[in-house]
């Protein structure tokens, strides 16, 4: 499964935090469908609310649907799925916290939650939670690349 949080602040639309994450998740699934491949398992996209209020959406999702599915050994598997994309910078599959977002809800449940990480030099760090968090700050090429990497990871996980 893949997830992202819906987020916006009263001064902007939440494009980099986190509409881009939502669009990457949905586009990854669209890619898998467009390829016409047949996953052996269901691939699910979940979009959560309540991230800024204490990860409420992702914690509740984990409680209802994923509790008791510990699988810390999956980190090595996810790293193998990312290996073909290492030259693009897709190298991080960690169970450590890499920021305040929804993947810690999965990690605390013992699941291999990880976050797509990209170059923040001209993106999220300067715009999130500000009135500059608008569509023109989103880099379409970054989103396409992230969606392709995520589609590959999802597909490989679904056929394992």
CA–CA gap between residue 61 and residue 126 (Å, rounded): 30
Catalytic residue, chosen from 51, 52, 73, 79, is 51
Phi and psi based region of residue 14 (left: phi greater than 0; alpha: psi -120 to 50; beta: remaining) = left
N- to C-terminal Cα separation, the chain: 14
Closest by CA to 117, choosing from 76, 89, 151, 156, is 89
CA–CA gap between residue 150 and residue 31 (Å, rounded): 10
Catalytic annotation present for 51: yes
What six digits make up the tokens of 114?
């990880």
The upper half-sphere exposure of residue 104, i.e. CA atoms within 13 Å in the direction of its Cβ, equals 10
SS3 content of the chain, % helix, strand, coil (to 5): 50, 5, 45
The catalytic residues are: 51
């Amino acid at each position: 499964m893949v997830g992202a949080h819906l987020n916006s602040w009263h001064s902007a639309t939440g494009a980099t935090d986190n509409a881009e994450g939502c669009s990457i998740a949905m586009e990854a699934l669209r890619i898998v469908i467009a390829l016409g491949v047949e996953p052996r398992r269901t691939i699910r996209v979940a979009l959560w609310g309540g991230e800024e209020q204490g990860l409420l959406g992702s914690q509740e999702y984990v409680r209802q649907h994923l509790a008791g599915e510990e699988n810390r050994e999956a980190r090595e598997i996810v790293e193998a799925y990312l290996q073909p994309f290492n030259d693009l910078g897709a190298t991080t599959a960690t169970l450590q916290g890499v920021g305040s977002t929804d993947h810690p809800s999965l990690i605390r449940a013992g699941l291999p939650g990880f976050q797509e990480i990209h170059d923040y030099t001209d993106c999220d760090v300067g715009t999130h939670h500000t009135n500059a968090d608008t569509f023109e700050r989103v880099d379409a090429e970054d989103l396409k690349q992230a969606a392709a990497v995520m589609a590959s990871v999802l597909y490989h996980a679904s056929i394992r």
